[in-house]
Structure 1
Amino acid sequence: MPQRDIRSQLTAPSLCRRTVLIMAGTLIAAPMARKPLRAATATDGPVSPAQILAHAAQILPPLTFADSNGNELDLASFRGQPAILHLWATWCGPCVTELPALAALAPKLRQDGIAVIPVALDHRGPEKVPPFLARLNLSTFTSFYDTRAGTAAALEEPTLPLTLFLNREAQEIARHPGPVRWDDPGAEASIRHLLA
């Protein structure tokens, strides 16, 4: 009798159901696999803001990050103004190289009504990033944090730095994986033109 029970469980419909469930689990898990983050290489830039081209507006997946108090924010918090979302990390050489120029340009862009949203992807963000910025004499440059690097995963982009240019509806209109020469002559005008 027990043998009959085992054989009845191995019938074709039962095997098909198991196979379908296993395959479905594999398909569901596959998109969740993350590409490891990497710093841009010499072939990834840097580029002038004038070289970054706009594309048709694209709705972004939900992206969340935290401020220094641990309050969670998303791009909807910046809706109504054009914005630059800039993903970076303290361990990323090209990020560190370009950060002072972005920090110097950020106040001018804010005066133009453009939000600058730097998001550090360090897993110990709030404890590591402020002292790091202070060592670079950038303690007034406020960064947000994504300690799980969920923004890069949601964007399916493993290269840092990563810069997205967003319209007033928080839709992506341009993207550049790799460093940007934020201190190029005319950088502010090029960005204003891109986000107009």
Structure 2
Amino acid sequence: MTMRERIANGKLFTDYCEGLPEDRANAKRRMIAFNATGPDTLEERARLMNVIFGRETKAWIEPPFYFCYGTNIEIGDGSYINFNCNFVDDTKIVIGKNVMFGPAVTIATVGHPIHPAYREYMYAEPVKIENNCWIGAGSVICPGVTIGENSVIGAGSVVTKDIPANTVAVGNPCRVLRHINEHDMKYYYKDREITQADLEAEAKLR
């Protein structure tokens, strides 16, 4: 079994061989180039995204954006990643369509053994975020977590276990607070009501 195969299979690994340091160095060069783009160089930003992820990516990512390899990240169409997000992608991070990230979200696929005698080693478990999720600012998503479709993760949460679909989950450790329900179809924030007239008024301003 190669070191890359050990990573893919969740075994203990180190990342100093098999071209892994060179892959990370190339990724850093692309990351620096991407983070240097501005509002007048959006075409270059889009081109770099396709190079970073190794596939056509129709998402919006606000620089700065940080990652280890880039090629282990898949981002679905229509997703939005706000500034200062950190994706530690030693193995797969799969993000569905129309997923929203607040600023400074961390996704970590890597952990270390608890005992200091083995702390130099790592293990990696993939992270999956399904379609239409909203990940609040400053949240941390830990190795091996899946977040079900449509769910909301409250700002500052630390997600250590899977979160089911159609729920609002908050806290450290993150726990399900409630299910998304009909009340959420009527109110968008506290007692502020969603009305068709207001939506139409907003649409006229576009």
Q: When the two structures are superposed, what TM-score results if normalisation uses the length of structure 2? A: 0.25
Q: Between Structure 1 and Structure 2, whose CA radius of gyration is higher?
A: 1
Bigger fraction of residues in strand: 2
Bigger fraction of residues in helix: 1
